Structure 1
Amino acid sequence: MHYRFKLTNMKIKILIFLFFLNYGGPIMAQQKNGFQLICHFKNLPNSSKVYLCTQEGDTVVKTISSGDRFVFNGQLRLNGRFHFIKMDTVLSKKSTKAIFIENQIIHIEGAVGEADVLVKGSAAHQQYRQFIEDISKINDKQRQLDFRKSWFASHRESLVAPWFMTLLDRDEMREAYAELSSEVKAGYYGAKVKYLLDHLEAKASPSSDTRLKEGN
Structure 2
Amino acid sequence: MSNTSKTALVTGATRGIGFETVRQLAQAGVHTLLAGRDQAKAVEAALKLQAEGLSVEAIVLDVTDAASIGAAVEKVTKKFGRLDILVNNAGILRDEQGRKVSEQTLQAWRETFDTNLFGLVAVTQSFLPLLHKSPSARIVNVSSVLGSVALHSDPASPIYDFKVPAYNVSKSAVNAWTVQLAYELKDSKIKVNTIHPGYVKTDMNAGEGEIDVADGAKTSVAMALIDDAGPNGSYRHLDNILPW
Fold match by TM threshold 0.5:
no
Structure of higher CA gyration radius: 1
Range of TM-score over shorter length = under 0.3
| TM-score, length-scaled by structure 1 | 0.24
> Highest relative contact order (Cα 8 Å, sep 6+), 1 or 2?
2
